[in-house]
Amino acid sequence: MTEMVYGAAPVQGGEPVLPKWWRTVDKWTLSCILILFGIGILLGLAASPPLAERNGLHPFHYVQRQAFFGGLSLVALFLTSLMSPTAVRRMAVIGFLGAFVSLALLPFLGTDFGKGAVRWYSLGFASVQPSEFLKPTFVIVAAWLMAASQEIGGPPGKTWSFALCLSIVAMLALQPDFGQAALTLFGWGVMWFVAGAPMLLLIGMAGAVVLVGTFAYDNSEHFARRIDGFLSPEVDPNTQLGFATNAIQEGGFFGVGVGEGQVKWSLPDAHTDFIIAVAAEEYGLILVLCIIALYSVIVVRSLIRLMRERDPFIRLAGTGLACMFGVQAMINMGVAVRLLPAKGMTLPFVSYGGSSLIAGGIAVGMLLAFTRTRPQGEIGDILRGRIR
């Protein structure tokens, strides 16, 4: 009767997409990513002009390309973070199939650009490194299989994911790209541990890694050369590690000053693998500590938010992405200060590189999608309810 007199009440639609995204996304993680991207542009302005000069290009050629690919990366991050976990999973499965096939065809269609490892496809105007896109998509697929194995009557997802992991590691090792192979194995191992893997099995895996590393040292000149250089008590001052070590020592606490660094004139990879050496020399320990803090905030906040997640797939996938992101940054900086052997791995969102920037944007977009606030009970509440 009321509706006949006053009219029907208007139907309230759902919350608009953008306000809902802004309300639920982890703004601290998003802010840290944007700051890292800004630092990458700042360091690119310092590190890349010498390389552009050597290659006969205009001084800011690489900076402009980094800004372009970084812009694409941020767009990919934003669009991916808007997705639901189910949509992220579907996209990742398709992306994994494409990246896996691309990685398998690298020995026949890829190029090494004179660096001794066939890791890229040359497109003429740019290059693509399939392993960068394979890592985050593999994490999603492996998490999906592991989560499915925990269901009653579910498939042997852990075994399947292990078989996929071994095939990817083998293909990466044959390039050779032992750094990406180790990072992929680490990401899978973290998810397997979170999924409830026996400790003895993880110890056995660690022993197997040592055996494989010994075999690679005996049979791969590329691998042996890097290990010998790392274990040598003295650093050749004319190598990349020598230049990077000297630059970090020269930088001290406050750095030598903006534009005053010299390592960028000697290091061919100053804008990529050894960008942290440029930061340490020109801006000192202060900027390096700020960069470490930004990566730490991203990883720790993501893991804290994932601890409250009820869905096992989201917990596993988010944990794998967060840990792989943090360990890649740790490896890059560890190589520069000679805590780890040279790996040829970029510093996420800071180093120059089209594939690494865009793939990193997709990976962090997935992580933001998984860590968005959703209406659900705390996992601790569920556990307490079971105890009662």
Band of the pLDDT at 286, cuts 50, 70, 90? very high
Identify the pLDDT of residue 75.
97
378 or 228, which is more confident?
228
Identify the pLDDT of residue 216.
75
Q: In whole angstroms, what is the distance from residue 55 CA to residue 62 CA?
A: 11
Phi, psi of 25 (to 5 degrees): -75, 155
Whether residue 236 is predicted with pLDDT greater than 90 in this model: the reply is no
Band of the pLDDT at 238, cuts 50, 70, 90? low
Identify the pLDDT of residue 3.
46
Other CB atoms within 10 Å distance of the CB of residue 20: 14
Q: In whole angstroms, what is the distance from residue 369 CA to residue 362 CA?
A: 10
Whether residue 376 is predicted with pLDDT greater than 80 in this model: the reply is no
162 token code pair: 């292990």
Whether residue 10 is predicted with pLDDT greater than 60 in this model: the reply is no
3-state secondary structure 325-350: HHHHHHHHHHHHCCCCCCCCCCCCCC
Whether residue 211 is predicted with pLDDT greater than 50 in this model: the reply is yes
Contact 95, 133 (CB under 8 A): yes
Q: In whole angstroms, what is the distance from residue 242 CA to residue 43 CA?
A: 20
153 or 20, which is more confident?
20
Give 23-29's long-range contacts (Cβ < 8 A, gap of 24+).
23/373, 24/372, 24/373, 24/374, 25/81, 25/368, 25/371, 25/372, 26/301, 26/302, 26/305, 26/368, 26/371, 26/372, 28/297, 28/301, 29/297, 29/298, 29/301, 29/302, 29/364, 29/367, 29/368, 29/371
Choose among 111, 117, 72: nearest CA to 353: 72
The gap between the terminal CA atoms of the chain, to the nearest Å, is 48
Give me the residues paired with residue 120 across strands.
111
Band of the pLDDT at 387, cuts 50, 70, 90? very low
Q: Which residues contact 188 (CB under 8 A, 6 or more apart)?
A: 138, 139, 142, 161, 162, 165, 320
Whether residue 240 is predicted with pLDDT greater than 90 in this model: the reply is no
310 or 366, which is more confident?
366
Mean pLDDT confidence for 310-326: 95
Band of the pLDDT at 91, cuts 50, 70, 90? very high
One-letter identity of residue 201: L
Contact 179, 343 (CB under 8 A): yes
Q: Model-level pTM? A: 0.89
Handedness of CA 121, 123, 124, 129 (dihedral sign): negative
Whether residue 259 is predicted with pLDDT greater than 90 in this model: the reply is no
Identify the pLDDT of residue 117.
78
Q: In whole angstroms, what is the distance from residue 268 CA to residue 361 CA?
A: 25
Of the candidate ranges 58-72, 134-148, 241-255, the one whose mean pLDDT is the lowest: 241-255
Contact 303, 325 (CB under 8 A): no
Considering 56-60, 313-317, 337-341, the range whose residues carry the highest mean pLDDT is: 313-317
Average pLDDT, the chain: 86
Angle at 72 between CA 69 and CA 75, to 5 degrees: 155
Other CB atoms within 10 Å distance of the CB of residue 221: 10
Percentage above 90 pLDDT, the chain: 49
Identify the pLDDT of residue 383.
53
Band of the pLDDT at 388, cuts 50, 70, 90? very low
Question: Could you state, in order of their start, the residue ranges of all structural domains in the chain?
Answer: 18-197+239-373
pLDDT digits 0-9 by tens, 19-34: 999 999 999 999 999 9
Identify the pLDDT of residue 4.
46
pLDDT digits 0-9 by tens, 345-366: 889 999 988 899 999 999 999 9
Contact 301, 370 (CB under 8 A): no
